[in-house]
């Protein structure tokens, strides 16, 4: 369908290219033919513009569809578990689609320059970002707890790494250039640490729950041991 529209648009533009000089040539020589050519040129331009608008609209729609994963029955059931309505689901999925796009950009940036690779290895920046993304998807009801990551730290880090690459690509580097790179690298390191902290704060409740469960399990084990020891002592009485 997309190729048909493009093919029709090309043919229409070709017709316009032919009709324009013919209309000019017959202007004043043959009013009847000039009128026919003018009408044909008008409709050719009209339909060409219409096809162009439809083509652009289709491309934008396809692009948006590709950015947003399909809402499967499993995902619907997952969101339903947290009592999310349709508007909340749409907002959540759009927010996470944007975050995924930013993480992809960040991953590309981090692999372009040795300094950024080193920062990523030192602070596990990408690993923390991906892990944070997965945790939010797993618990969409905690979206509000990830505000700093989604709306501040992640976009800020993408912007900083992009700026670092842009400055680093300057053919002529002066002292000011290296100073700017050092300042930018320092900022990237600081935001990387903030993202790691975002992740630690986000899963803190899970770790605390695990500690409680381990404590209860240990108490149960100790209780079982006490009962067993009591039985054994009783048998020796």
pLDDT tens digit sequence for 133-180: 999 999 999 999 999 999 999 999 999 999 999 999 998 989 999 999
232 falls within a domain: no
Max distance between CA atoms of the chain, in angstroms, equals 130
Percent of the chain with pLDDT over 70: 64
Parent domain of 54: 2-67
Same domain for 117 and 183? yes
Distance CA 28, CA 217 (A): 99
Single residue among 22, 42, 67 that ends a domain in this structure: 67
Q: What's the burial of 135, exposed, middle or buried (CB within 10 Å: 0-12/13-18/19+)?
A: middle
The yes-or-no verdict on residue 217 having pLDDT over 90 is no
Report the distance separating Cα 93 and Cα 65, nearest Å: 12
Interatomic CA distance for residues 11 and 44, integer angstroms: 10
* Pair 94, 183 in one domain: yes
- What is the residue whose two structure tokens read 């880090």? 157
Q: How crowded is the C-beta side of 201, counted as CA atoms within 13 Å?
A: 14
Q: Dihedral angle at the C-alpha atoms of 94, 95, 96, 97, nearest 10 degrees?
A: 40
- 217 within a domain of the structure (yes/no): no
Q: What share of the chain is helix, strand, coil (3-state, %, to 5)?
A: 90, 0, 10
Q: Encode pLDDT of 33-67 as tens digits.
A: 767 767 776 767 776 777 777 766 555 554 544 46
Rg (C-alpha) for the chain, rounded Å, is 32
Helix or strand or coil: residue 105?
Answer: helix
Q: Please say which residue of 47, 67, 87 terminates a domain.
A: 67
Is 167 within a domain?
A: yes
Mean pLDDT of the chain: 79
Number of separate domains in the chain: 2
Answer yes or no: do 88 and 158 share one domain. yes
Query: Is the same domain home to 86 and 62?
Result: no
Q: Mark 71-104 as b/e (b = at least 16 C-beta within 10 Å).
A: eeeeeeeebeeeebeeeebeebbebbeebbebbe
User: At residue 114, does pLDDT exceed 90?
Assistant: yes
Average pLDDT over residues 114-143: 94
| Pair (186, 94) in one structural domain | yes
170 plus 107 within the same structural domain: yes
Could you give the CA distance from residue 237 to residue 234 in angstroms, rounded to a whole number?
Answer: 5
Do 101 and 60 share a domain, yes or no? no
Hey, what are 16's tokens? 């316009």
Q: What is the pLDDT of residues 67-95, one digit of tens each?
A: 677 778 888 889 988 999 999 999 999 99
Q: Can you say whether the dihedral through the CA atoms of 174, 176, 177, 183 is positive or negative?
A: positive
**Crossing angle of the two packed helices 175-202 and 154-168, in degrees rounded to 10:** 160
In contact, 33 and 76? CB cutoff 8 Å: no
78 and 188 share one domain: yes
pTM above 0.85, yes or no: no
Quote the distance between the C-alpha of residue 4 and its chain's center.
Answer: 31
In a domain, 226, yes or no: no
Rounded distance, CA 79 to CA 92, Å? Answer: 10
């Amino acid at each position: 369908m997309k190729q048909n529209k493009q093919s029709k648009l090309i043919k229409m533009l070709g017709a316009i290219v032919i009709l324009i000089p013919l209309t000019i040539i017959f202007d004043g020589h043959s009013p009847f033919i000039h009128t026919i050519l003018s009408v044909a040129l008008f409709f050719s331009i009209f339909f060409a513009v219409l096809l162009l608008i439809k083509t652009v609209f289709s491309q934008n729609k396809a692009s948006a569809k590709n950015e947003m994963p399909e809402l499967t029955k499993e995902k619907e059931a997952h969101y339903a578990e947290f009592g999310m309505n349709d508007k909340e689901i749409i907002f959540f999925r759009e927010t996470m689609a944007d975050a995924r796009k930013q993480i992809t950009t960040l991953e590309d940036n981090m692999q372009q320059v040795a300094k950024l690779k080193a920062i990523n290895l030192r602070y596990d920046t990408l690993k923390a970002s991906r892990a944070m993304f997965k945790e939010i998807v797993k618990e969409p009801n905690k979206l509000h707890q990830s505000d700093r990551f989604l709306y501040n730290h992640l976009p800020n880090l993408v912007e900083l790494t992009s700026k670092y690459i842009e400055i680093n690509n300057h053919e002529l580097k002066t002292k000011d250039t290296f100073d700017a790179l050092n300042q930018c690298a320092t900022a990237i390191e600081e935001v990387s640490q903030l993202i790691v902290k975002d992740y630690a704060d986000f899963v803190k409740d899970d770790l605390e729950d695990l500690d409680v469960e381990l404590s209860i399990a240990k108490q149960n084990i100790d209780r079982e041991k006490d009962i067993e020891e009591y039985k054994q002592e009783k048998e020796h009485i």
